[in-house]
Every structure is written in structure tokens, then in C-alpha cells.
Structure 1
């Protein structure tokens, strides 16, 4: 499902993903309903911030409010701000994704942002940031980028 839900440049190779799962700040939550696999949410715990890296629901459960429930539960469990990345609104699916998060209270931020490569020999991708419950400041964005590089990138790529 991870491979189906995300383009290659937005996901890690399997061995790298397995390495990250050993990090105590990285969380890999499986979502089930009556014993059936519904989806997953991968997220990082930073000081004062939770970063949702990947969220997906199984194709047969899409459009049935499972994604909404997953995000609402995630919000209710968080005591800190939440940040996530979305693709630029260049197609209907990315526009729908942005609208989905906006309906849940996320704010689309205007700062320029590039996601660091998720793969060995990968490229940075221009993305947009969405935050909850309010827009991120330039200073908070700088701290996020530094924390992301130190925790989620440097140990695996540099």
C-alpha cells in the first residue's frame, strides 16, 4: 500500500524505511476496523511538534471517512502543533488532498518549501506545508527544517 499510495520520489526504499522504524521518535501506526487493515500513519515526534510524514487508507476504504477519523484521532492525541507536506495543487487529486486537510482545520502555509530527498540519490521536491492549528512562523519553519535534517535525514543520508 505504501508503494501504491505515494510516488517513488516521495517514499523511501524498503531497507531505509526499516532502519527508520527503529528510531524512537518515529511512529508507524496501523489502523484497523474490526480486524481489517484500513490504513496507516507514519509520523515523527519533534520537540513541540508532530510531523505527519505519510498517511494512507486502503483503496477499498477511501471515501468512507476513515482518513478523516485517523486525522481527527491524531489531532486529539497531540498536545503540540502538527505539520505535514502536500504536493503543489497542480492536479485534481492534490487539490482534493489540500481541501481535505483544510476541512480538518489545517492551514495552508505560504513559505517556500522543498522536501529533502526520501531516497538515496533522490531529488528535493517542491511541496507545500500545512499546519494545525495555525500557520507556522518563519522561525518555527527554520526549527522544523533543522530538526528534520538532524533526525530524519542526516543519520540515513549524510
Structure 2
């Protein structure tokens, strides 16, 4: 994949956990996010039942998954839950193109979370999103609940496109995220794989 142009990527929406593209995307998913930030694979079928849940993959010319973009689309906001580009494509503009496409489709509505900028990697990530028009929202002490009932909560920094979050939209996002995106999965998350 070295030297691939971002415009050669093809976007496909994954339709369920039994979709072959979902299975092929799991390597990028598992290697791009720390374990505590990952939804368990067995929890994805319930997420796919939500018509506003979009699991999209970007394929290279050989049909390999080169990137994933996972969003929850609501009227007030679009929550970017997961975004990862294959290590072999990083720094070549693929992430920029994918993020710009999402941002342009939903101006001023995209909400994403990043680790607080406390080390080199998290500061670079903050810089990447800032270069693409996203602003941090430090006015909110945002705590992400764990993806399983046994896990621990952790602080993250919310970012939004061009404008900081309105307090009412923030409250709507937190309620939606905590109750619908995370906690409703606790019952099935406690089952063994």
C-alpha cells in the first residue's frame, strides 16, 4: 500500500457483523485503539441495528481495508466513535481526505474524542484535528464511561468542527453517548465471548 494516493480509496458501508468487510477491518480496529477504548466485537451486532450507526471502510485498489470510520448520526450531531488509517497509509493524506469528507457532509455537527494532550502521540493527534478545523472543548470535564460494566471510566477531550459545543448539545450528546452508545451494551458485554 506504500505510495497509494488517498483518492484511490473506495468507501463501503458495512451492513453487519457478518459482513466480510467487517471481519477484514478488525485488524485495523484492534491495533489502532487501546483495549479500554474498544467495543467488544460481540457488541457490534446490536450497534448495527441502529439506522444511524455507520461503520464504513475504505478499500485500497487491491480490495484491502485501508481505513475505518465509525459514526453515530443524529439530528443534532454526528459522533465520530472510531477513525483509523492503516499504518502503511499514515502521512499520505488518506486520513485528511476521509476526515474532510465527513466534516464537509456534516458541517459544524461532528463531535469526536481524543486523549488529553499529555504525551507526544496525543499532542500530534490534537494538532492533526486542529489543522482540519476542529477545536477542543476543555470547558467540559468529559469522562467516557467504560465499554463494559467491569471497566473503568477515563477522561477524554471533546473536539468539534470550527465552533465549541453549545451546552445543550453537549448535554444531549452525553446522554446519548453514555446511555445509548455505551451502557445499553452492558448486558451483552458481560457475557463470555
Q: Same fold (TM over 0.5)?
A: yes
* Residue matched to 1:76: 104
* Rounded Cα–Cα distance in structure 1 between residues aligned with 2:148 and 2:179: 16
Deviations 1:92-142 (A, max 9, x none): 111000100000000111111001112341111101000013100222211
CA contact under 8 A between 2:76 and 2:169: conserved in structure 1? no
Cα distance in 2 for residues equivalent to 1:144 and 1:91: 27
Point out the structure with the larger strand share: 1
**TM-score normalized with structure 2 length:** 0.77
1:127 aligns with 2:156: yes
SS at match of 2:69: strand
Alignment of 1:73-152 (within 5 A): 73-79=101-107, 81-110=109-138, 111-152=140-181
Shift of 1:12: 1.2
Contact 1:82 1:133 in 2 (8 A): no
Q: Distance in 1 between matches of 2:98 and 2:149?
A: 30
Structure 2, unaligned stretches of length 5 or more?
1-27, 188-193
Whole-Å Cα distance in 1 between the matches of residues 157 and 108 of structure 2? 20
Residue of 58, 72, 77 corresponding to 2:86: 58
CA–CA separation in structure 2 for the residues paired with 1:127 and 1:21: 25
Gaps of 5+ in 1: none
Which position in structure 1 is the counterpart of 2:17? none
Matched, 1:6 2:33: yes
C-alpha RMSD of the superposition? 1.5
> Secondary structure at 1:84's aligned position in 2?
strand
Quick check: 68-77 or 139-148, which moved more? 139-148
Divergent runs of 4+, >3 A: none
Count of residues in correspondence between the two structures: 158
Instruction: Normalising by structure 1, report the TM-score.
Output: 0.92
SS of corresponding position for 1:144: helix
**Rg larger in structure:** 2
Distance in 1, Cα, partners of 2:169 & 2:76: 10
- Give the secondary-structure state (helix, strand or coil) at the position aligned to 2:156: strand
What is the SS of the residue equivalent to 2:39? coil
